[in-house]
Amino acid sequence: MNLAEKILAAHCEKKAVTPGEFINVQTDLILSNDITAPIAIKEFRKIGVKKVFDPKKIVMVADHFVPNKDITSAEQVKLMRDFAYEQGIMYYDVGQMGIEHCLLPEKGLVLPGDVIIGADSHTCTYGAVGAFATGMGSTDIAAAMATGDIWMKVPPIIKFIYHGKLGKWVGGKDLILYTIGQIGVDGALYAAMEFTGEAIDNLPMDGRFTMANMAIEAGGKAGIFHVDQNTLDYVKLRAKRPYKVYEPDANAEYAQVIEYDISKMEPQVSLPHLPSNAKPVSKLGKIEIDQSVIGSCTNGRISDLRIAAEILKGKKVHPKVRCIVIPGTQQIYLDAMHEGLIEIFINAGAVVSTPTCGPCLGGYMGILAGGEKAISTTNRNFVGRMGSTKSEVYLANPAVAAASAITGRISSPEEIK
């Protein structure tokens, strides 16, 4: 069995599972947020149990529209907050919250060998620590909050092997944009993606979170990494409960094995309106931008902010560009402050927001007008994703987003001297 199958088998009390099989898995953590929790709570009330199965395994995070942008979003969070206190579950509100997929790993709530489900499609992010994590809907989460388990179909696993060493400005974002560009937005539909190879062994945890995060953008059910010393160093400082490291069998079977040599890879940019429209940054021609967003659950971590600051240091954001920097969590915000990054951003003419999803989903804090273009470190560039249906979003890594903020057009970090 491969890694994902090992974890799933252990969570449904079976010796082995095979792709295509329907199983009932026990969950280690169940997540929802200010968009998906309200529906989940309404559905939970219909099941006929008063209490959730285990308050210590359920977490809710207010992150999409907080501090609340309007009355209706305030009502949604209130509904979630009331439920969270009533049930005694883990709950993160303004002041403690961060973007859920940055926050939960940081808090040590997602650990190797876990099965994690979340009413948010980017729940797949936690595959970076060697967990099986997958996004579902609110109704799934309602049922799981009642019983602790959920139905699942064991996915086929596609193994990706990345050969070579990453270039200076190339990171997890570029690997995943390139991969989605190669296989398409439904290239891994119903499948789980396992990321391996020399480039992955050398990829820091933040880059792994970025890659696992975007497995869903290829249609994937999960993205998963093997646990190595990097992972253990990351989780051992944070874990407050025991966890188990599973190893794939040497003869594990995969639905497909795809190999890439990435030694000559440039930073990638995905053109509107699909993450699969990936191109090397040098092949884009002149594309002027109105906004640069550096943040989100994909690239709102401290190493992302360090890269952006390295480029913006002593430079000015182009007068026609709004550069918006959003640290993923309070801790990341604090670290960025201690390291002097916030000052670099402000001196460059960028704004720094408290943690929120904000513009990533066109919520608030940087909505685009018709005809405007943004370069963004987020994960989706669908029509209207960041505002007007006539606006455009280009996806890139934080180095490209920072460089473009300075030049006013989509630029390689190499251009900034």
Partner 1 sequence: MLKGKVHQYGANVDTDAIIPARYLNISEAELLTKHCMEDIDLDFVKRVKPGDIIVADTNFGCGSSREHAPLAIKTSGISCVIAKSFARIFFRNAINIGLPLLESEAAVDGISNGNMVEVDLEKGIIKNLTTGKQFTAKPYPEFMSQLVKTGGLIEYTRQRVASNKSNRFYERRS
What is the total count of residues that contact partner 1 (CB under 8 A)?
A: 62
Q: Is residue 122 involved in binding ligand SF4 (CB under 6 A)?
A: yes
Q: Which of 291, 280, 281 is nearest to 378 (CA)?
A: 291
Q: How far is the CB of 257 from partner 1 (least distance, A)?
A: 21
Peptide bond into 11 cis (omega under 30): no
Site stretch for ligand SF4 (CB under 6 A), options 11-19, 20-28, 70-78, 93-101: 93-101
Site stretch for ligand SF4 (CB under 6 A), options 97-105, 134-142, 218-226, 254-262: 97-105
Tell me how crowded residue 87 is: count the other CB atoms within 10 A of its CB: 17
Residue with smaller CB distance to ligand SF4, 122 or 301? 122
Q: Is residue 196 involved in binding partner 1 (CB under 8 A)?
A: no
From its phi and psi, is residue 365 left (phi > 0), alpha (psi between -120 and 50) or beta? Answer: left
User: Helix (H, G, I), strand (E, B), or coil: what is residue 125?
Assistant: helix
- Strand 268-270 to 256-261 pairing: unpaired
Burial of 115 (0-12, 13-18, 19+ CB in 10 A): buried
Q: How far is the CB of 297 from ligand SF4 (least distance, A)?
A: 3
Q: How far is the CB of 77 from partner 1 (least distance, A)?
A: 10
Tokens of 32: 């929802």
Site stretch for partner 1 (CB under 8 A), options 61-69, 84-92, 95-103, 338-346: 61-69
Residue with smaller CB distance to ligand SF4, 35 or 146? 35
Diameter over CA atoms, the chain:
64
- The entry of partner 1, ligand SF4, none that residue 99 binds, CB within 5 to 8 Å by partner kind: ligand SF4
Residue with smaller CB distance to ligand SF4, 8 or 393? 393
Q: Is residue 294 involved in binding ligand SF4 (CB under 6 A)?
A: no
Q: Is residue 103 involved in binding ligand SF4 (CB under 6 A)?
A: no
**Tokens 């995969």 belong to which residue?**
254
> Across the strands, what pairs with 293?
324, 376
Q: Which of 111, 254, 277 is nearest to 192 (CA)?
A: 254
Residues near 398 by Cβ (< 8 Å), separated by ≥ 6?
173, 294, 299, 304, 305, 307, 308, 377
Q: Is residue 189 involved in binding partner 1 (CB under 8 A)?
A: yes
CA distance linking residue 306 with residue 181, whole number of Å: 27
Give the amino acid at 209: F
Site stretch for ligand SF4 (CB under 6 A), options 95-103, 335-343, 381-389, 391-399: 95-103
- The entry of partner 1, ligand SF4, none that residue 149 binds, CB within 5 to 8 Å by partner kind: partner 1
Q: Enumerate residues 188-247 that contact ligand SF4 by CB under 6 A.
A: none
Q: Is residue 357 involved in binding ligand SF4 (CB under 6 A)?
A: yes
Residue with smaller CB distance to partner 1, 340 or 371? 371
Q: In what order do the strands lie in the sheet with 392-395?
A: 278-280, 268-270, 392-395, 373-376, 291-294, 322-325, 351-352
Contact residues toward partner 1 (CB under 8 A) are: 11, 22, 26, 28, 35-36, 38-39, 42-43, 46-49, 51, 53-54, 64-65, 69-70, 72-73, 76, 118-121, 123, 135-140, 142-143, 146-149, 151, 153, 185-186, 189-190, 216, 219, 221, 241-242, 274, 361-363, 380, 382-385, 389
Contact residues toward ligand SF4 (CB under 6 A) are: 64, 99-101, 120, 122, 296-297, 357, 360-361, 378-379
